């Protein structure tokens, strides 16, 4: 069977993924990725002395803060119970790139998605470097998504296939939505390099969440009833706006003040705010002003530091453009029908899409969408298959 590097986070999904892979006969190596942000507790999860690898951190004799010491300890306990090697990887420098992106996007009045970038740069980026160093064929995670391996016709008619199988087809791996619609995470995987799909494994995507918890219970794993994480892992306080304000610095090293006015779409001043990083397009709660009826963030102006609010109908958008696109499937020429998601938790909506000559993506929705936020990803689907997507402008 195959050697597999599995990202483990101490939750029920990655824990059951470890068991599923080992039960199938694979050689599984569990890893926990530390980001180095200080927390109240310190991680104490390190690899066993008899399975050292030079690319991994050696056993540490000191404490180091991480996103959650309890998560690291939970992951280590699961690895011990399943008798698989386990390592804590210090990716503080790599996480710095994600944190810088997070801060920069909020400062520009955009809404970042660090989970997508973490998948792109770390879980299915740097983690493949570690997999290569230990001669592992695959990288796996506990995401609720699936992979489908099929043979498709060669891209150019009459051209011999590079695979040389003599059938006029090439093996192709597609990313699909997870079986459980309520937990599907294919949206956050759209940015992975297409060439890596063939080396990925997503074992829990074929299950529904209650089934995964039932397996964990049957195995006697302590994480069987552990709640799903709802916070950004490196924002240990849970308050992302405070995190941004504390770490944002100007060219001179001083702090940057992004506080300003809250105005209506008509230009009426209705309040002030401590910083634009506190807001996102479509936000209703926590505006800090009482309007007597529901108002939403319609626009954020980083140049003037104004947060513009309006009624729900003023949020409606029938089209959008996106840049820095990544495609996981071949697309039709010209415009094409699809469904599109504008946020992880938003339902797919019927749309027509077209790749523009400059590489950007244009999407027109059949029905207006509310809360289209610059900085978030728009991801396109053909049924259950992920086509790809880009970052909303």
Catalytically annotated residues: 118, 233
Residue the block writes with tokens 């529904």 = 208
How far is the first Cα of the chain from the last one, in angstroms, to the nearest whole number? 45
Please give the biggest Cα pair distance in the chain.
70
Q: Which residue has the tokens 């459980």?
A: 180
Residue from 136, 137, 117 nearest 192 by CA: 117
Residue 56 corresponds to which tokens in the numbers above? Answer: 């991994």
In the block, tokens 């996102």 appear at 280
- Give residues with Cβ within 8 angstroms of 20, minimum separation 6: 203, 204, 215
Two tokens, residue 364: 């027109």
- Give me the residue label for tokens 């950004």: 232
CB 179 within 8 A of CB 207: yes
Cβ-contact 341, 349 below 8 angstroms: yes
Sign of CA dihedral 369, 373, 374, 377: negative
How far is the C-alpha of 50 from the C-alpha of 52, rounded, in Å?
Answer: 6
Contact 35, 92 (CB under 8 A): yes
C-alpha distances out from residue 352 to 159, 339, 364, 384, 390, Å: 31, 8, 5, 17, 15
Residues facing residue 386 across a β-bridge: 381
What is the residue whose two structure tokens read 């309890």?
Answer: 70
User: Tokens 């039960």 correspond to what residue?
Assistant: 23
Instruction: Locate the DSSP E strands across 154-204.
Output: 169-177, 200-201
How many CB atoms are closer than 10 A to CB 240?
Answer: 20
Can you tell me the distance from the alpha carbon of 13 to that of 140, in angstroms, rounded to the nearest whole number?
Answer: 11
């Amino acid at each position: 069977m195959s050697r597999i590097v599995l990202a483990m986070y101490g939750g029920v999904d990655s824990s059951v993924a470890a068991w599923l892979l080992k039960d199938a006969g694979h050689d599984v190596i569990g890893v926990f990725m530390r980001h180095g942000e200080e927390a109240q507790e310190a991680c104490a999860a390190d690899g066993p002395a008899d399975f050292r690898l030079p690319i991994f951190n050696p056993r540490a004799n000191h404490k180091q803060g991480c996103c959650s010491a309890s998560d690291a300890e939970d992951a280590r306990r699961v690895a011990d119970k399943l008798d698989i090697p386990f390592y804590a990887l210090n990716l503080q420098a790599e996480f710095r790139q994600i944190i810088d992106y997070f801060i920069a996007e909020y400062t520009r009045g955009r809404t970042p998605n660090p989970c997508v970038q973490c998948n792109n740069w770390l879980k299915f980026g740097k983690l493949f470097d570690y997999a290569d160093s230990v001669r592992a064929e695959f990288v796996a995670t506990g995401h609720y998504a699936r992979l489908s391996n099929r043979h498709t016709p060669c891209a150019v008619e009459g051209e011999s296939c590079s695979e040389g199988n003599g059938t006029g087809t090439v093996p192709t791996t597609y990313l699909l939505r997870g079986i459980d619609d309520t937990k599907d995470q294919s949206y956050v995987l759209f940015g992975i390099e297409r060439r890596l799909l063939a080396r990925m494994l997503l074992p829990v995507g074929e299950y529904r969440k209650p089934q995964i918890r039932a397996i964990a219970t049957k195995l006697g794993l302590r994480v069987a009833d552990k709640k799903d994480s709802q916070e950004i892992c490196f924002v240990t306080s849970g308050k992302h706006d405070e995190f941004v304000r504390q770490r944002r610095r100007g060219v001179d090293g001083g702090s940057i003040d992004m506080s300003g006015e809250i105005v209506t779409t008509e230009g009426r001043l209705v309040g002030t705010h401590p910083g634009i990083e506190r807001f996102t397009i479509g936000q209703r709660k926590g505006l800090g002003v009482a309007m007597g009826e529901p108002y939403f963030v319609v626009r954020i102006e980083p140049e003037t530091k104004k947060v513009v609010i309006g009624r729900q109908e003023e949020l409606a958008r029938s089209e959008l453009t996106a840049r820095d696109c990544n495609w996981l499937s071949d697309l039709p020429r010209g415009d094409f029908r699809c469904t599109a998601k504008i946020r992880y938790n938003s339902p797919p909506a019927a749309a027509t899409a077209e790749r523009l000559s400059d590489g950007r993506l244009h999407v027109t929705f059949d029905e207006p969408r509310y809360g289209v936020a610059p900085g978030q990803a728009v991801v396109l689907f053909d049924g259950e298959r992920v086509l790809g997507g880009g970052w909303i402008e």
